[in-house]
Structure 1
Amino acid sequence: MTVVLSVLFVLCWASGFVGAKLGAGAAPVTTLLMWRFLLLAAVLLPVAWVTRKRGSRPSGRVLGRQAVIGALSQGGYLLTVYAAIQLGVNTGTTALIDGMQPLVVAALVGPLLGVSPSGRQWLGLVTGFLGVLVVTLGDASANGSVPWWAYLVPFAGMLSLVAATFIEQRSPAPVRPLAGLTVHSTTSAVVFTALALATGGAVPPADPPFWIATGWLIALSTLGGYGLYWTLLARLGVTRVNALMFLMAPVTSVWGAVMFGEPFTPVTAAGLTVGLLAVVTVAHRRPREQPAAGAREKRPRPVSRPAGGPAA
């Protein structure tokens, strides 16, 4: 079951980069994100209310923590991913830069969660970073119309998702998946509605491509991508789940080449191969994680709280 969930997670998370490309030409970033989360919140709020358990109402502190997680993992992460794609960065390259997340997580996981990656895992993570570097430099050289600083935008989003991941892992008590997703999506709806109103982009276009992209992002990227991300985080731990991020680039690059005609060069193929080797190295065996006292990974009870996906 875990393998199936992992495959679905990779596909759903990668779909976010493709969905961002679909919607990029139909409307401004804030418009697309505003309606994505307004519609999602409108569906989730009544469902979460009807299915709530008696006496399980979260405290204000818990809701506040979940709102911060949602703002970081959906607001900060998605805004930068969409902005990078609109600036001209290829979907595969954006996904690959986002794939550096495992290395950042591994560097922080020991000090913050008391989980020490093994030497083999470190080797895989560094190998994955080299694959990211190869593809990013190759794409930057081939795509001269994109400003160099545009490649820094996805890095900012990746750091935002990393921050959300660690805040979630340090949460003292579990939150029901549906309740967490509802808070995250409602928070994002408020954030992106404010941004859209401030920039004059609140009115959605009537064009079908906009609504197709919106539906795509709600169903696959948010419900599928973010839901499976937090679910697998509880099942596998931080290091192994984030190693799956190295697989987003191969899937997204092939997807982008087929749907949008994006270039798929030998340099891209080489970098993606390195990324695949990194995942195999990290996931070769179950890491012997020793969470620090109070770390959420130590809890046997699964906790899944969608914050984002998709991904983009």
Structure 2
Amino acid sequence: MRASPLLDRLAPPLFIFIWATGYIVAKLAAPHADPLTFLAWRYAGVVVLMLGLALVARAAWPTRREMAHLAVAGIAIQAVYLAGVWVSIRQGLPAGTAALIVNLQPVLVAALAPLIGERVTPRQWAGVALGLAGVLLVIWHKLTLGAGLATPLLLCLMALLGITAGTLYQKRFVPNFDLRTGQVVQFVASLVVTLPAAWALEPMRIEWNRDVFIAMAWSIVVLTAGGISLMFYMLRHGRVTAVSSTMYLVPSVTSVMAWWLFGETLGAQAIAGMGVTLLGVYLVVAKKTETTA
């Protein structure tokens, strides 16, 4: 997909909105489906959708070498990340705590960006720190930990490491690929990993009621086909540190959605945190204006 000035402007806010709905979908589906089983169905649905689009458009397929790199990145970004988040929340980790852990990603990406040849400026580091502070303000009142949450915490840390490693790996080894055929490769690889895990670890329960159908359709068409495609587009046409920093805004948008849909509390502290987060992300992604004497 070629760079488009209009899409360059629209991609970040669209991505943030779509990604934030992931927690809403998880809350909707959790009572009716085992997490890995739901994800396996989701991956299969994405493969069917993207394969159909690729065949109709006669899209170019990656080389074998590119397929191998895409499979590795896909397993980290899809299978490891989503499994860690969904299973940890299902096992009792509060969504606010999960959001905080996963949204440490911009800090890790900024720290590791030099490994793929990106330089992080002092201003961007200040933005990363401000963004993290804003996220803490937004969800601080939701951070409650109880006994028996060691395993969910480790799973959420696994999710953080998965999406961070996958993002950096993809940017380094296979930054350019057709989004349709590339996602077929990535989600086939994720399905190959997730389906046996679901069979081994879960009773594979899924109740096909209205909530599950809505959650599944939204996950396949909007969250995955839309959200993942936008993330890959931004990685292709932007710097990985700037792209990952948009993740900081997800908890804020999710909090607003939860307030609107489920009546969850949204106080002055959370609103202030959103403002701090916006400033932090601006410092990371805004282009530095050069002046001449």
Q: Does 1:240 align with 2:242?
A: yes
- Kindly state the Cα deviation for residue 146 of structure 1 after the two structures are TM-superposed: 8.1
Q: Does 1:12 align with 2:18?
A: yes
Aligned residues: 284
On the 8 A contact 1:99/1:245 being kept in 2, the answer is: yes
User: 1:84 and 1:262, CA in 2 relative to 1: closer, same or farther beyond 3 A?
Assistant: farther
Q: How does 1:1-312 map to 2 (within 5 A)?
A: 1=6, 2-53=8-59, 56-110=60-114, 112-134=115-137, 137-141=140-144, 147=149, 150-171=152-173, 174-202=176-204, 204-286=206-288
On the 8 A contact 2:20/2:253 being kept in 1, the answer is: yes
1:192-225 CA distances to partner (integer Å, 9 max, x unpaired)?
2212222344453232211111111111110111
Paired residue secondary structure (2:19): helix
> For 1:233 and 1:263, how far apart are their aligned partners in 2?
34
1:116-169 CA distances to partner (integer Å, 9 max, x unpaired)?
11111111111222334455654224x658836644543321221111111111
- Kindly state the Cα deviation for residue 106 of structure 1 after the two structures are TM-superposed: 0.7
On the 8 A contact 1:37/1:188 being kept in 2, the answer is: yes
- Structure 2 gaps of 5+ residues are 1-5
On the 8 A contact 1:240/1:282 being kept in 2, the answer is: yes
On the 8 A contact 1:97/1:132 being kept in 2, the answer is: no
User: 1:103 and 1:215, CA in 2 relative to 1: closer, same or farther beyond 3 A?
Assistant: same
| RMSD (Å), alpha carbons | 2.6
> For 2:204 and 2:150, how far apart are their aligned partners in 1?
30
With normalisation by structure 2, the TM-score equals 0.86
User: 1:13 and 1:90, CA in 2 relative to 1: closer, same or farther beyond 3 A?
Assistant: same
Q: What percent identity do the matched residue pairs reach?
A: 32
Give the structure 2 partner of residue 301 of structure 1: none
With normalisation by structure 1, the TM-score equals 0.81
- Kindly state the Cα deviation for residue 250 of structure 1 after the two structures are TM-superposed: 0.6
Paired residue secondary structure (1:170): helix
**1:32 is aligned with what amino acid?**
F
Bigger shift: 182-191 or 42-51?
42-51
**1:5 is aligned with what amino acid?**
A
- Kindly state the Cα deviation for residue 34 of structure 1 after the two structures are TM-superposed: 1.2
- Bigger helix share: 2
1:249-307 CA distances to partner (integer Å, 9 max, x unpaired)?
1101111222233343454444443322211222232599xxxxxxxxxxxxxxxxxxx
